[in-house]
Amino acid sequence: MTNPYVPLLFFLAIGGGFAIFSVAIAPLTGPKRYNRAKMDAYECGIQPSPQAEGGGRVPIKYFLTAMLFIIFDVESVFLYPFAVAFGGLGLFALVEMVLFILTVFVAYAYVWRRGGLDWD
Amino acid sequence: MTVLTALAAAEPYVPRDNPIADFSDTPWWLSLVKALLIFVYLLLSTLLVIWFERRVIGRMQQRPGPNRTGPFGLLQTLADGVKLALKEDLTPKNADKVVFILAPAFFGAMAFVSFGIIPLGPEVSLFGHRTPLQLTDVPVSVLLMLAVAGVGAYGVVLAGWSSGSTYPLLGGLRSSAQIVSYEIAMGLSLVAVFLYSGSMSTSQIVANQRDIWHIIPLVVSFVIYVITMVGETNRLPFDLAEGEGELTGGFHTEYSSLKFAMFFLAEYVNMFTVAALATTVFLGGWQAPPGIAAINDGMFNEGWWGLLWFTIKLWMFMFFFVWLRGALPRTRYDQFMHFGWKFLIPVTIVWVVAIAFLQAANNGFLGDRAVNIFGAERRLASLIVIGVLALLVLAATWIWEGRQVKRAEARAVVVPPEIDPFAGGYPVPPLPGQRLRESAGESQADSSKAVIHG
């Protein structure tokens, strides 16, 4: 086996095939009995709350969390090659990495002070 | 003693960022067979773990759990699966039809992929070929796994959004925010592992733990990883995405029949995947526990034995998941986010820096002088770094404890020795140890009242 990613594709094909098959046969195995109330959004039996077009507005906090996630996840991805090659790079890598992490910590402290990490 | 030896070992640097598992004798059809075998292994494990969880939770709650279907109720999950298949498959009228159908398939497919890079055992003979008990290994295996987990989060968001209903939308948003928040701490905790093993390939990481499992030198990373893996898989005490009392079922409220079964299955497969990664990077992977590994020249570290040790370690994590569910109540969402962003992330970053300094000292970047303690050569720089780190930890705990005491003092309510029960306009009962201040007119009119109040 020359390319090590090919077995992963096999696995994806098996797992994905199973998932798609299950979802595809779901409408065929069960009964079909129409009832208008059944097709409504489920809210524990009360009248469903009216929905705005496209799902309506969502709290800004989720958006903020996603933005912060990108910043810090990119940071951790930068740390991976450094960590793997660390032994071969010498003292330079250590100094460089400490400087990088300090820079990120400044951003982190800023976000914390501005209340970006508070949920309420 | 071994801990100190491992922490301050003076060893030369060997580049090792490539997988050591040897796939040269593995033809493509054997890969396909292995993929099929691993798939069956996962599916059977999932069927078993659902039964296992219900039985153990049952015991923890003083009841027997499912015990009717098959011996010890073992076929319960299968029966539930058949029952789900025979239920009506509903698509609510507000739903975005295409995405609504694609989301469970997507989530299910992604759940399986990442298990492919987990080493289940050493080299074995399979159909006349020598092949590692691992589907494949690449130089960036762990990164690949984190990436697949990140893509899997889409399934949750899309399912919640496409349902066209309030509860699933909120559940999907919560779940995705939760997954991405804890993914940062999870990724950072693994950086220490990469620093230590010099590789992201899972077979190399396992080989690096031949002498000492990573859980001992990297215990902080291990604890953080275990916390984040519970957060990642939406399990109690972090199952805020579902939170039965608040959002009925979370992002899959509107799903029924086999689509719901797909979400259910994928969640348990995800549990197995994160637990398998924990086993691989911290608990020595498929290697036998130290005492057993020493027997008969490493006999139990050969061939199919690896699969046994791996499975045992995996199921220890499964029991841990179930135990958490049986023992802990759900956290509040703001507490959960607060814990992830304001505690786990800074602690992990500081830990990574500490490990970087330690590795630099071990590799001789900070000076080469060696000293002889306990009869072994050790780098002076490593010992100094360990000492400084220990002092810093001591200082941190000291400051933290001082702040805790101050906080407790600030919280303590001062109870005045006397209380006027009618000061606020309506009667207030006295706190323990408090006397009632008696108004002049009352005490003259009826002196027995004071006796009744105590």
pLDDT digits (tens, 9 = 90+) for B383-409: 888 888 889 889 989 999 999 999 888
- Can you say how many angstroms the Cα of residue A85 is from the centroid of all Cα atoms in its chain? 27
Residue B222 lies in a domain: yes
For residue B432, give its domain range: 421-453
Q: How many domains does chain B have?
A: 2
Percentage, residues of chain B above pLDDT 90: 22
* Average pLDDT value for residue range B33-54: 92
Q: Which segment of B6-20, B85-99, B155-169, B436-450 scores lowest on mean pLDDT?
A: B436-450
Contact B184 A72 (CB under 8 A): yes
pLDDT the model gives residue A118: 82
Across the interface, which of B13, B86, B183 has its CB nearest the CB of A29?
B86
Q: What is the pLDDT of residues A18-56, one digit of tens each?
A: 999 988 888 888 888 888 878 888 777 777 777 666 566
Q: What is the pTM of this model?
A: 0.85
Q: How far apart are CA B9 and CA B379, in angstroms?
A: 7
Give yes or no for B44 touching A (CB within 8 A). no
pLDDT above 70: percentage of residues in chain B: 91
State residue B226's pLDDT score: 94
Interhelix angle B28-60/A6-29, rounded to 10 degrees, is: 60
Alpha carbon distance B247, B244 (integer Å): 6
Q: How far is A115 from chain B (nearest CA, A)?
A: 11
**Angstrom distance (rounded) from CA B155 to CA A16:** 13
Return the number of CB contacts < 8 Å for A and B. Answer: 241
Cα distances (angstroms) measured from residue B25 to each of B18, B21, B79, B139 = 17, 11, 41, 19
Q: Which residue of A has its CA nearest to B108?
A: A19
Question: Is B401 a domain residue?
Answer: no
**Residues B77 and B188 occupy one common structural domain:** yes
Q: What is the pLDDT of residue B443?
A: 47
State how far residue A66 is from chain B, nearest Cα, in angstroms.
7
Look at residues B344, B367, B397 and tell me which one is the last residue of a structural domain: B344
- Alpha carbon dihedral B400, B403, B404, B409, in 10-degree steps, equals 170
Q: Is residue B399 part of a domain?
A: no
- Nearest Cα neighbor of B20 from B108, B158, B132, B153 is B132
Task: Clarify whether residues B287 and B436 are in a common domain.
Answer: no
Question: Please, what is the end-to-end C-alpha distance for chain B in angstroms?
Answer: 63
Tell me the pLDDT band of A99, cut-offs 50, 70 and 90.
very high
Q: Is B112 on the interface with A (CB under 8 A)?
A: yes
Considering B36-40, B365-369, B440-444, the range whose residues carry the highest mean pLDDT is: B36-40
- The pLDDT tens digits for B240-298 are 777 666 777 778 888 888 888 998 899 999 999 999 999 999 998 888 888 777 777 77
Would residue B5 count as lying in a domain? Answer: no
Nearest-5° Cα angle at B36, B35 to B42 = 90
Q: What is the H or E stretch that residue B126 is in?
A: strand B121-126
The answer on pLDDT for B12 being more than 90 is no
Q: Do A65 and B337 touch (CB under 8 A)?
A: yes
Q: Which of residues 286-305 of B touch A (CB under 8 A)?
A: none
Tell me, yes or no, whether B179 and B287 share the same domain.
yes
Rounded mean pLDDT, B295-310:
82
The whole-angstrom separation of Cα A79 and Cα B192 is 10
pLDDT band of residue B440 (cuts 50, 70, 90) is: very low
CA of B363: which chain A residue's CA is closest? Answer: A87
Answer yes or no: is pLDDT of A74 > 60: yes
- Looking at the predicted structure, is the pLDDT value of residue B444 above 50? no
Task: Answer whether B183 sits within 8 Å of A69, measured CB to CB.
Answer: yes
Whether B144 contacts B138, CB under 8 Å: yes
B166-197 helix and B141-162 helix, angle to the nearest 10 degrees = 170
Cβ contacts of residue B360 below 8 Å, gap of 6+?
A86, A91, A94, B366, B385
Angle at B261 (CA atoms; ends B257, B267), nearest 5 degrees = 155
Among residues B305, B327, B344, the one where a domain terminates is: B344
Q: Tell me the one-letter amino acid at B125.
A: S
pLDDT in tens, B290-300: 877 777 777 77
Contact B237/A at CB under 8 A: no
Domain shared by B46 and B175, yes or no: yes
DSSP string, B334-395: HHHHHHIIIIIHHHHHHHHHHHHHHHHHHTTTT---EEEETTEEEEHHHHHHHHHHHHHHHH
User: pLDDT band at B10, cuts 50/70/90?
Assistant: very low
Nearest to A20 by CA among B265, B107, B38, B80: B107
Residue B53 has pLDDT above 90, yes or no: yes
Residues B311 and B432 in one domain: no
The answer to whether residue B134 is domain-embedded is yes
A66-A68-A73 Cα angle (round to 5): 95
Which of B90, B120, B151, B205 has the most A C-beta neighbours within 10 Å, making it the best mutation to test the interface with A? B90
**Residue at B97 is within a domain:** yes
Give this complex's ipTM.
0.90
Scan for tokens 């080989």, then name that residue: B207
Could you tell me the residue ranges of all domains in chain A?
57-113
Joined tokens for residue B264: 């259910």
Q: Min CA distance, A57 vs chain B (Å)? A: 11
- Mean pLDDT to the nearest integer, B368-397: 80
Token representation of residue B76: 């319960």
Specify whether B187 is located in the same domain as B49. Answer: yes
